A and B are shown apart, each in its own frame.
Chain A
Amino acid sequence: MLEELQFGFPLLSVLIFLPFVGALLLWPQKDPDLLKKSALGIAVLEFILAALLLWRFIPDSAAMQFSERHEWIPPLGISYHLAVDGISILFVGLTAFLTVLIVLYSWDAVSENLKTYFMSILVLETMIMGIFVSIDLILFFVFWELMLIPSYFLIKMWGVGEEREYAALKYVLYTLLGSVFMLVGFALLSLNYHNVTNSYSFDFLELLTVPVPVGEQILIFWFIFMGLAFKAPIFPFHTWLPDVLVQGPIGMSVVLAGVKLGTYGFLRFSFPLLPEASTNETVVVILMVLGLSAIVYGAIIAIVQADFRRLLVYSSISHLGFVVIGLFALNFQGIQGSLLQMINLGFTTAGLFFIAGFLYDRTGNTLVDQAGGIAAKMPLFATFFLIIGMASIGLPGTNGFIGEFLILLGAFQAHWIYGAVAVLGVIFSAAYFLWYYERAIFGPLGEKVPQVLQDLTQRETIIAMSLCVMIFWIGLYPSPFLRMINGSVQAVVDRLERGSVASIEFDQRLAMDSPNTRLLVKE
């Protein structure tokens, strides 16, 4: 985990700032068509860079790769430190992938203030990329907070619901409330570092070299937890989610439902930095109970939702419960499954939001009683809906199964009762998805369904098709993805098992054998 590999080219910086610069380039443009094409071009270019990153990434390794480090505020030990490892690498790819799809989706779906919209989307991409590749706590925090700005405007200005202003504010304030606690947690970590070494640092890798007293760890854990729990959102901190995802624009819903920032934070910071707190029995039981409650609670509420987007919100809460119990199973399968599942949700839950968007654009709502028999009018739509939905409920052969299976296996190994309760989610998820599908897509044509209903356009088909490719790729041949994450997952598990003191000694012995920083060379 401490080993750093450099690339010889600041690929990560380019990855962060390319969309931002791109957004600035959009500024003087006026022609909507050109605007769309340039936005798409930038998003695609970013995706190619991300693909390059994934391609050059060395799998089965716990090393921090593509590392870049520049001093920023030396007295405080704050640096501009970027790197990716197995924990973050797939998120980078996912973010770039989803942004391309969002731009494609927005082509016709968004008409007002097109320029600002695309600029916001691209700036948002910059911030999210920043979150995933920052390994300095303050740098991470800055991106984490700045992400709220484009999000706020996206929800407020391009939201589809009546109460979008309320939703935008609610989102920002809730997240901010949590972040304040998180910042305190970070500050405490740095102060502890100061206690030991007499200098400050917010550098994740440096903080890893200093043990934190167990009592303080638990305090810090809960501070950071607050920030992550609101963002994730973890039950019962989730109540902004229904408002935002229903009132906001589809593009924003895709990001919020698909890019699991909150749970990523546990794996990135809480587990490695606070291993004793993360394995503390009380902490684990509390988190497990929250996770299991979310699974059952979210799924049961999802069953009765009449609006597909609200259904997705609660299914998303339920799925996040799975991610939480996988993480806090604290064993290899659980953590591996959770990490993979976070990525999977970016294709399935986010994919279903695109599907909801396709429907919304045609009928002006996603309510079940306004639909019915849509399969007859839009067979292609119905097919993709079913495939992505089946992936979302974890049908074997799709990506959702791999993640869900590993999580359940991990939870079951932690304690059989966790696995046994979580398995209920498998049943309920089938119930809520298929019941909606039966009433909205099957059956005779609904009375309120518009007579003219065009099936998916070419652009929409491309979106759905690329999601399906990822769904089946990860479902049937997950090997490349598993190899990318396995090294880092093992490192996290080792750290949790050994505890901080033993891990630090282990790292020191390792460091004596080989220098920590070297040049990334790939044969």
Chain B
Amino acid sequence: MSDLIVILIPVFPLIAVLVNGLVGHRYSHDLAGRIALGSVGLSFLCALNVFVGVMSDPTPREVIAYSWIFGGDLNINLGFLIDPLTAIMLMVVTGVGFLIHVYSVGYMHGEEGFTRFFVYMNLFMVSMLLLVMGNNYLVLFIGWEGVGLCSYLLIGYYFTKVSASKAATKAFVVNRIGDAGFLLAIFLIFVNFKTLDYTKVFANAGQLSTEMATAIALCLLVGAIGKSAQLPLFTWLPDAMEGPTPVSALIHAATMVTAGVYMVVRNHALFDMAPFAMATVGLVGGITALFAATIGLVQNDIKRVLAYSTVSQLGYMFLACGVGAYTAAIFHLVTHAFFKALLFLTAGAVIHSLNGEQDIRKMGGLSKRIPITHAVFLIGTLAIAGIPPLAGFWSKDEIMAHAFLQGDFLGYVLYAFAAIGAFLTSFYMFRLMYLTFYGQSRVDPEVDHHIHESPPVMMVPLMVLAGLAIVGGFLGVPPEHGWFHGFLSTVATPLGAVPHEVSTGTLIGLMAVAITIALGGWGLAHYMYSVNTTLAEEWSERFAGAYRTVLNKYYVDEIYDAIIVEPCKRLGQIGDWVDQNIIDRFIRGIGHGADASGAGITWMEKHVIYGGLNVIGYANHVLAGSWRKMQSGLVNHYAAVIVIGLFLLVHLLFVWLVGTSVL
């Protein structure tokens, strides 16, 4: 593993961005796709090389490209840090990223903006790689806002749709709220450590006071909440589904939205110092996990169900961070990347085969028409629902066990949130399964004859991801002692962690509970959507108020509009009025009062200065005259008046100072 290979990881997609972006319109879509794909493939190979290097030698390594911002006591390099955490993230980003790129070549085939799409996607890869590879906060921040930009561009990919362009703006602006918090954290870190390099900051983290550590950690959390769509800044993610489906899979499920989790884990040295911040992280995660899951129960858009599911699953990762289970958080991040990317891409295949239909009320019975798509979707569903031995079971169980074993009140509360959330997850995912693939077909007759399996270029990535969703969990088996835990032990072990000895009985008990919950959710969904299909409708009528509240996402968007967006606009209008009618008048008033101020200054000349600086008085007379004439409308003479006045002004100054005219 040489430095060059590390630097090349983000450089390959960057080259593709430049080539496709600048001259992409001159050649065919095929070639543009190949360039985009090739660059990510090469990037993946380099990342693989780095990963293997880290496996043999996990010592953190820094690679400095060049000195970026410097001066005074500040010196920020554009540099990379390679350690086990980065290595894992690199594999997820480039690996899953590559599969999604392959899929996209098929999915986006024939789109007019094909090349543009891949430019954005590659730019996203560059940003995401900078985000996970940076060796200091500012490089992380380039990636952080860079992925936000790409998210904006890709959500607004179908920019002629009003809803898409609105969703894009919303995503960027809401993210910026988080970014502002992140910036404050960066400033606090610089003030305390005089550096922004991770290694130096974490080495000295112990010197922080608890209050300062809490302040920094909470500011970082604000950033993470924005990027990872947690409460209260989650509203942009469901709207982000306006983007093409591969975008939802790559950015809004597998990689970008997990950046907040990565950031918290990366900064665990700071979070460990701040128990209050940790509790906040856990609560935010726990509440989000439950809250988003309830909304997911009743949505009818296949992608929106998955979007709320993503918000909810990210909540689990935050919950894990909050109880100090950093390894479990990253573990769930990885397995989630596999099965959620799989679910989104499969949903894309379904939508593709239904000619763009996303409403699950107009699906049903698809399992026989597109059996392979059905099979991979089932695998994804089983994985996310937590059915062993698929990937999601292991990572989710570990998070729940950690919360439970924390042993305090907060731990049990979080466990309860997670457990209810897991039940709901299982329920809404199987509801989606049943409504989409089983039962009677409700497909529009026009699109019915069109239903077909997707081309191999789309199906192969699905199968690879399905395989990963099945076996990915074994990376972390046995719980707490798997390969994954050993690999991350140097970078994700909480400060002062005491290895707790838990009886195998307790662990097996917790697993049994988790399995029961998952099967319970499945069972209920089976009953409601396969056995007694009228029940769902009955319930929605009986609990109409609650149903409508949840269907409308608890009206959070409306509330934000009413208390933030609209008041801001009104404030702007008031400001606009004030600017034109009060401030401008006031300044003009000064002009009108130039005679008076001339007198004031004349007084000052006499007393403060040595006296006799008549030039000011004169200038003010000239000015005052001009102001008056301005009102009277004789505009044309002013330029001349001004020039002459200036000449006289300077001239008089000479006369006054030298005593004779120099002209």
Report the minimum CB–CB distance from A414 to chain B (whole Å): 11
B69 at the interface (CB under 8 A from A): yes
- Distance between Cα atoms of A477 and B142 in the complex (Å): 13
Complex contact A443–B142 (CB within 8 A): no
Give per-residue flags for A364-401: 1 if the beta carbon is below 8 A from chain B beta carbons, else 0.
Answer: 00000000010110000000000000100001110001
Chain A residue, CB-CB nearest to B113: A379
B568 at the interface (CB under 8 A from A): yes
One of B168, B190, B620, B643 near A149 (C-beta < 8 A): B643
Chain A residue, CB-CB nearest to B662: A73
Q: At the interface with chain B, which of A300-308, A342-350, A352-360?
A: A300-308
* Chain A interface category by residue count: 35 or more
Contacts A172-B642, A442-B160: A408 and B187 contacting too (C-beta < 8 A)? yes
One of B70, B166, B573, B646 near A438 (C-beta < 8 A): B166
- Distance between Cα atoms of A345 and B109 in the complex (Å): 41
Complex contact B653–A183 (CB within 8 A): yes
Give per-residue flags for B636-661: 1 if the beta carbon is below 8 A from chain A beta carbons, else 0.
Answer: 00110011011001100110011000
B298 at the interface (CB under 8 A from A): no
In the bound complex, residues from chain B placing their C-beta under 8 Å from that of A303 are 568-569, 572
In the bound complex, residues from chain B placing their C-beta under 8 Å from that of A28 are none
Chain A residue, CB-CB nearest to B646: A145
Report the minimum CB–CB distance from A363 to chain B (whole Å): 18
B165 at the interface (CB under 8 A from A): yes
Tell me whether chain A's interface is mostly helix, strand or loop, or mixed: helix
Q: At the interface with chain A, which of B170-178, B469-477, B485-493?
A: B170-178
Give per-residue flags for B125-145: 1 if the beta carbon is below 8 A from chain A beta carbons, else 0.
Answer: 000000000000010011011
How many interface residues does B have (CB within 8 Å)? Answer: 82
A180 at the interface (CB under 8 A from B): yes
A118 at the interface (CB under 8 A from B): no
Complex contact A304–B572 (CB within 8 A): yes
Which 8 A-B pairs have CB atoms at the shortest separation, nearest pair first? Answer: A332-B72, A442-B165, A304-B572, A239-B584, A412-B187, A396-B142, A442-B159, A301-B575
Complex contact A397–B146 (CB within 8 A): yes
- Distance between Cα atoms of A478 and B72 in the complex (Å): 15
In the bound complex, residues from chain A placing their C-beta under 8 Å from that of B658 are 73, 75-76
- Distance between Cα atoms of A73 and B144 in the complex (Å): 58
One of B74, B180, B590 near A427 (C-beta < 8 A): B180
Complex contact A183–B649 (CB within 8 A): yes
Contacts A191-B610, A373-B160, A409-B187: A300 and B638 contacting too (C-beta < 8 A)? no
In the bound complex, residues from chain B placing their C-beta under 8 Å from that of A416 are 187-188, 191
B627 at the interface (CB under 8 A from A): yes
Complex contact B575–A420 (CB within 8 A): no
Q: Which residues of B contact A (CB under 8 A)?
A: 66-74, 138, 141-142, 144-146, 149, 152, 156, 159-162, 164-166, 168-169, 172-173, 176-177, 179-180, 183-184, 186-188, 190-191, 568-569, 571-573, 575-576, 579-580, 583-584, 586-587, 590-591, 594, 601, 608-610, 613, 616, 619-620, 623, 626-627, 630, 635, 638-639, 642-643, 645-646, 649-650, 653-654, 657-658, 662
Looking at A148, A200, A430, A482, the one whose CB has the most chain B CB atoms below 10 A away is A430
Complex contact B576–A395 (CB within 8 A): no
Complex contact B146–A396 (CB within 8 A): yes
In the bound complex, residues from chain A placing their C-beta under 8 Å from that of B146 are 395-397
- Distance between Cα atoms of A50 and B544 in the complex (Å): 73
- Distance between Cα atoms of A424 and B573 in the complex (Å): 18
Could you name 20 residue pairs across A and B whose Cβ atoms are closer than 8 Å?
Answer: A73-B658, A73-B662, A149-B639, A152-B642, A169-B638, A176-B645, A187-B657, A300-B572, A301-B575, A333-B72, A333-B74, A376-B160, A405-B183, A408-B183, A409-B190, A413-B190, A416-B191, A442-B159, A479-B67, A482-B70
- Distance between Cα atoms of A452 and B654 in the complex (Å): 61
In the bound complex, residues from chain A placing their C-beta under 8 Å from that of B662 are 73
Contacts A173-B623, A396-B142, A438-B165: A430 and B591 contacting too (C-beta < 8 A)? no
Looking at A152, A188, A412, the one whose CB has the most chain B CB atoms below 10 A away is A412
A7 at the interface (CB under 8 A from B): no
Chain B residue, CB-CB nearest to A442: B165
In the bound complex, residues from chain B placing their C-beta under 8 Å from that of A435 are 169
Chain B residue, CB-CB nearest to A380: B25
Give per-residue flags for A491-505: 1 if the beta carbon is below 8 A from chain B beta carbons, else 0.
Answer: 001000000000000
Chain A residue, CB-CB nearest to B179: A426
Further 14 A-B residue pairs, CB within 8 A, beyond A408-B183, A437-B169: A73-B654, A152-B642, A187-B657, A300-B575, A331-B72, A332-B74, A375-B160, A376-B159, A430-B176, A442-B159, A443-B162, A476-B68, A479-B68, A486-B72
Chain B residue, CB-CB nearest to A394: B145
In the bound complex, residues from chain A placing their C-beta under 8 Å from that of B183 are 405, 408, 423, 426
Complex contact A478–B68 (CB within 8 A): yes
One of A148, A419, A427 near B642 (C-beta < 8 A): A148
In the bound complex, residues from chain A placing their C-beta under 8 Å from that of B156 are 438, 442
